[in-house]
Structure 1
Amino acid sequence: MPVSVLGRVVIYAKDIEAMVAFYTQTFGFEVLRDPADRIVELRHPEGGAVINLHPAAKSQKMGQVLVKLVFDVQDVEAFVAQHSGFGSIHRVSGYKFANGKDPSGNNVSVSSRAFKNG
């Protein structure tokens, strides 16, 4: 059976440029644009899933999707200290996480769960 991995996440956004700024400045993504395509692709230099920013239809309500993007970071406290928009740091079963929102109201989280011992 072929192996399947999460390759990309599509985020619908009303303000694409605000989203580009958030994901490049906060998480270090790089921007790829094709003038023939309305989707803006964000790739991280260290790999991982690609984020495709897709213009939202007028009828779509921002932040109403039951999805959370979780970014693996070793030091949640240091990350939150450097980037505004994240709430309290939670400590659970050997790891830490903090929640926030992107400019379109989508849930984002930074978590050290991937680095948890054991």
Structure 2
Amino acid sequence: MKRMLIADGSDIVRKVGRKILTELGFEVIEAASGREGLVKCERQLPDLMIVDAGMDDALDLISNVRALPDGKAVLIYYCVVEAELKIMMAGKRAGANDFLLKPFDRAILTKTFGDKAVAA
């Protein structure tokens, strides 16, 4: 089972994401801040991450995860409210692999992650 970390300051976003992604077959862990996310990643690195661009320390979380042993193997999705080039480029420079638009729903998460839960 693949591990997914959702780092988002919103309890509701984390709760909804956790419910949907758990149903897709992920083991989901949550973090309310970048710092909390980094601590959890240092304990056990997830396979995938969703990092909310709205968190003050989102870019630090991404770059710090990339600096961890095996951190480059984590698939990181930078979650943005709108497709704003400046914000997306900052996420890409920090090490994000891809982007996810908020608000997301079951259809978006299933399309994006449905084939990744059990894939080797």
TM-score by length of 2: 0.30
Structure number, greater radius of gyration: 1
Q: More helix by proportion, 1 or 2?
A: 2
Q: More strand by proportion, 1 or 2?
A: 1
TM-score by length of 1: 0.30
Higher relative contact order (CA 8 A, sep 6+): 2
